[in-house]
Amino acid sequence: MKESKVVRDEVCVKRVQQSTTRDPEMEEISTPRIESKKKTAAEGWSAARPGVVLVACLMTLPVLVFLPGHYWTSSFVWINAVKMTKRIDKGPEDGSIPNSLASKDKLLGGLLSPNFDEQSCLSRYKSALYHKASPHLPSSYLVHKLRTYEALHKKCGPNTPLYKKSIEQLKSGHSMELMDCNYIIWTPYNGLGNRILSLVSAFLYALLTDRVLLIHVTEDSTDLWCEPFPDTTWVLPSDFPIKDLTKLHGGTKESYGNLLRDNKISNNPKTVVVSLPSYIYLHLEHNYQHLDRLFFCDEDQMVLGKVNWLILQSDLYFVPSFFSIPAFEDELRWLFPARESIFHLLVRYLIHPTNTIWGMVTRYYDSYLAKSNERIGIQIRIFQWAPIGSDDLINQILACSKQENLLPDIELENRNPSSTNVARSKAVLVTSLYQEYFDKFQSMYYENSAKTGDLVSVYQPSHEGHQSSEKQFHNQKALAEIYLLSFCDVLVTSAVSTFGYVSHGLAGLKPWFLPYAKNRKASEIPCIRFSSMEPCLHTPPRIGCRGNRTVDTIKLQRHVRTCEDLGEGIKLFD
């Protein structure tokens, strides 16, 4: 499970100080399944509407923009209105994007492998053009570990001789020691934000345990992200012997908790194990029970380490609980000297939108956001367990904006703004299932000028009305909007929203979040800034493990604390 300390020293010690931090430029909470046909890329996003540009001084405006009560059609927004202008270097003030990759590190400090055909996945290397420079460099040991993992995956991936040998072992009904390849299979569950959080968690577990990560691709998750490992695939073949993986649940008899309950296996180190099952299902969803949560105990990891195949279903970012497992402590420290960089680095490594989605992202960005001096993302998520009226939430957002000086105040008397300030353009990107929030901000900056003289435009790519995670095109649009948010300079997100977590993790930003409503009333504190980029683990295991090795709770508290947006959750800090 571990490389020797000598190897780590040779790989890491030269850059361990460099891998900490440098100054950055400056869905949901897991409730029981409240998350909720394929379209071609040419159909576009059905509800996309461009924002209206407010000019705070007297000038002639195109009549098309200001026809009362009308919006441009989605086909015009996403397909016909693409500004395919040549990018030129104009400096940072106009928000333009460089015309070549030369000014950006497309491999992200060695995080990404150079061994890909760039045209097969445009987003892999071109995301660096749009994202701000990362506030964290990957450690030398993480870079080494990723290249080592890629070689392992190529050796053990689907349709290789070693994979076929492992399939025969799986069919035997028993795990076998000294197999060359061991696997963890990830299955999708819940909304897209939850899926990405659990997928990143599963990948880190694969890194820590020298397993090969394979993903079960369902109809609603096809054509979402590119292959992350060169010269191989991470997609589980359709002829995999175990069927109906998405129907696994807490009551499945092969789950780790139920195997312990039924005395089919033992996590007592003193028990002599005659045989272990060929696979074990790990039920790590928000509703997992006590015996399932023993996954996060050291002695249970010793048992699971002897099982060749693990199948995981989760909707949680369970990385913070890895720090309670003593066997992982040293490896985590060497991989991530900066604890809060874990999700940020791994999601930039692992999740690359396919060319279909990347086209949607870049067409929208280049058409509407690229020319602005500043891009402000506002992500709004309404939960059934925390209802709030749209007017109350809008007032909360405006109070947050005023408190943190995020958006310019409006001139209610329609006087000419002060001419002493140099006018700057600000693009406001609203992402929400509902349109009323866009309508409010659009009207506000259309009907009134900004006191600062700033030129404010408001945009919303789509307004689906409800979450439909079982539909492929819905998930494609969601991933595109996550990426658009991650290109913003400033983010305001909804508390406990996994959609928001992924967006600011990709961006490398610490956003302001809107505390959720209580008793249908907005929080008296309009917004709070996260002190860490890391996502929150909403339902931590909170268990006692009986192993001889104990967790250093004082050391643990230096890196794992209560989430600012959810008192029951935990997250990583530095």
pLDDT in tens, 262-279: 999 988 866 756 689 999
What is the model's pLDDT at position 7? Answer: 44
Q: 264: which strand partners?
A: none
Asked whether the beta carbons of 218 and 188 are under 8 A apart, the reply is yes
Asked whether the beta carbons of 308 and 278 are under 8 A apart, the reply is yes
Last residue within a domain, chosen from 282, 301, 335: 335
* Tokens standing for residue 13: 């010690």
Flag whether 8 is in a domain: no
Q: What confidence tens digit (pLDDT) does each residue in 505-562 have?
A: 999 999 999 999 998 999 999 999 999 999 999 999 988 787 545 555 556 677 899 9
Collapsing DSSP to helix, strand or coil, 490 comes out as strand
What is the model's pLDDT at position 410? Answer: 87
C-alpha span between 270 and 303 (Å, rounded): 12
C-alpha span between 79 and 199 (Å, rounded): 32
Give percent of the chain with pLDDT exceeding 70. Answer: 78
Structural domain span for residue 376: 42-99+353-529
Q: Are strands 212-215 and 183-187 parallel, antiparallel or unpaired?
A: parallel
Flag whether 127 is in a domain: no
Specify whether 301 is located in the same domain as 413: no
Q: Average pLDDT in the 386-403 region?
A: 94
Asked whether the beta carbons of 496 and 516 are under 8 A apart, the reply is yes
Flag whether 389 is in a domain: yes
Q: Average pLDDT in the 414-431 region?
A: 76
Flag whether 255 is in a domain: yes
Q: 185: which strand partners?
A: 214, 311
What is the model's pLDDT at position 557? Answer: 72
Check whether 65 has a pLDDT greater than 90: no
Specify whether 466 is located in the same domain as 363: yes
Strand locations in 237-286 (E): 279-284
Last residue within a domain, chosen from 300, 335, 370: 335
pLDDT band for position 36 (50/70/90)?
A: very low
pTM for this predicted structure: 0.82
Specify whether 250 is located in the same domain as 358: no
**Residue 313: half-sphere exposure toward Cβ, Cα within 13 Å:** 25
Specify whether 270 is located in the same domain as 223: yes
Triad 518, 523, 526: Cα angle to 5°: 155
Asked whether the beta carbons of 64 and 573 are under 8 A apart, the reply is no
Specify whether 178 is located in the same domain as 220: yes
Flag whether 560 is in a domain: no
Specify whether 329 is located in the same domain as 362: no
C-alpha span between 465 and 228 (Å, rounded): 32
Specify whether 436 is located in the same domain as 494: yes
Specify whether 201 is located in the same domain as 329: yes
Asked whether the beta carbons of 455 and 54 are under 8 A apart, the reply is yes
Flag whether 131 is in a domain: no
Give the position of tokens 């508390």.
495
Specify whether 312 is located in the same domain as 191: yes
C-alpha span between 342 and 567 (Å, rounded): 22
* Tokens standing for residue 461: 């790519």
Specify whether 358 is located in the same domain as 328: no
Q: How many domains does the chain have?
A: 2
Asked whether the beta carbons of 506 and 344 are under 8 A apart, the reply is yes
C-alpha span between 241 and 5 (Å, rounded): 39
Q: 416: which strand partners?
A: none
C-alpha span between 459 and 364 (Å, rounded): 10
Contacts of 552 (CB under 8 A, 6+ apart): none
Strand locations in 273-332 (E): 279-284, 309-314
Specify whether 361 is located in the same domain as 505: yes
C-alpha span between 257 and 169 (Å, rounded): 23
What is the model's pLDDT at position 77? Answer: 36
What is 192-244 written as a DSSP string? HHHHHHHHHHHHHHHHHHTPEEEE---GGGTTSB---STTS--BPPTT-SS--
Specify whether 266 is located in the same domain as 394: no
Flag whether 422 is in a domain: yes
